[in-house]
Amino acid sequence: MTARHSVLRARSASACRERRICSSSVVLKGRCCSVMPSTASRRWVARRSSWICRPFSKRRAWLYEGPWVAERYSVAGELMERNPEAVLPVIRAVLAKAPAVDGVQTFRAQYRLQALKALCDKALENLDCVLTPTIGRPVTLAELHAEPVQRNSELGYYTNFMNLLDYAAVAVPSAFMGNGLPWGVTLFGRAFTDQYLLSVAEGFQHSDEASTPAPVARNDRARLVVCGAHLDGLALNWQLKRRGATLVETTFSSADYRLYALAGGPPFRPGMVRVKDGGAAIAVEVWELPSSELGSFLTGIPAPLGLGKVQLADGRWESGFICENYGLEGAVDISHFGGWRAYLTDRQ
């Protein structure tokens, strides 16, 4: 069986921001806001497309066969041999296969897992997180007693691969089915996105409440506002793309900044400075890159530029390029152009 999900591409109508959350159409029924709550400055609408998770589902059975059974046997095997009755019969039956696993099988399985994980990581690359049912269906105690391994495997259809692939995940209560039994969903994503997933899960649980939703934590991606040579297609944009950055949106700063063409170059650079009075809205781009790449990017920024907090037109504050005041000596105020790209076009 191939599990098919639908991808919700959540788009901010006010700022053309695009976020992606893979979700089960059975669970959400098109309700994007139940995952990404709207706020006064950000409202989300959904667009559906298909996404197939075949590479993920291939790992389910590995918990019950092969080297990963041997790994569990290394913990419980001595107890099984010394006192078999201390281990449940179904666990003994699964772990009894372990002594037959040899080193060649182990390495082959590890290499296979690495190859499949690369495919899965690629599938997650442009997604914030994935939402699946926690279980396919409830099973009765009688069913579980009759076929414990099969039924446990079915219960883990959507989730058994997560540990093997080193993904973070959280199960969330969702609703009650028509037969009165509870139903839940699971959010999973790349390793170390735990805090982000927990905040999305909290928003999901409180999506029907009238109170203002809690802010969603950042995942393993960092937002960066650029206003000059790092703009898409310009001289230093490669420094972002080489680090796996993607363009999130083209927008403006709040009307609190002045833009200056700094002395020196090439490459020629602008400096954006926040002012108390007489500011203007400056054209900027918001990029997103892996948080692990942000440090190396920061250390390569020459004075008088640096990274700080920049306010955008919709009131959000994001990390972005700022300029120290001493760097304005010999600079030319180009704020009336509205942005660096317009200034360069005028110079041609």
Which residues touch 87 (CB under 8 Å, ≥6 apart)? 76, 79, 80, 95
Task: Write out the residue range of the structural domain in which residue 108 sits.
Answer: 4-60+101-205
Is this model's pTM higher than 0.75 or not? Answer: no
Burial class of residue 155 in the structure, from the number of CB atoms within 10 Å of its CB (0-12 exposed, 13-18 middle, 19+ buried)? middle
Of the listed ranges 2-16, 84-98, 183-197, the least confidently predicted one is: 2-16
Residue identified by tokens 């009765």 is 140
Any idea which of 43-47, 153-157, 262-266 has the lowest mean pLDDT? 43-47
pLDDT digit string, tens, across residues 127-149:
888 888 999 889 999 999 999 88
- Quick one: pLDDT at residue 212? 53
pLDDT at 250 over 90: yes
Residue 338 resides in a domain: yes
CB atoms within 10 A of CB 229: 20
Percent of the chain with pLDDT over 90: 45
The pLDDT confidence band at residue 60, using thresholds 50, 70 and 90, is low
Hey, what amino acid is at 42?
A: R
CATH code, domain carrying 311: 3.10.490.10
Q: Is the pLDDT of residue 180 over 90?
A: no
**Three-class SS state of 61:** helix
Residue 82 has pLDDT above 60, yes or no: yes
Q: Rounded to the nearest 10 degrees, how much is the dihedral formed by the CA atoms of 202, 204, 209, 212?
A: 60
Distance CA(159)–CA(201), nearest Å, equals 16
DSSP 8-class letter at 39: B
Within this chain, do residues 195 and 233 fall inside the same structural domain, yes or no? Answer: no
User: Do both 286 and 172 map to the same domain?
Assistant: no
Please check whether residues 276 and 310 belong to one and the same domain.
Answer: yes
Instruction: Quote the pLDDT of residue 216.
Output: 60
* pLDDT given for residue 11 in this prediction: 29
Residue 42 has a pLDDT of: 33
Cα gap 131→19, rounded to integer Å: 14
| Same domain for 158 and 258 | no
297 plus 163 within the same structural domain: no
108 and 181 part of one domain:
yes
Residue 3 has pLDDT above 50, yes or no: no
pLDDT given for residue 215 in this prediction: 61
Confidence of residue 164 (pLDDT cuts 50, 70, 90): confident
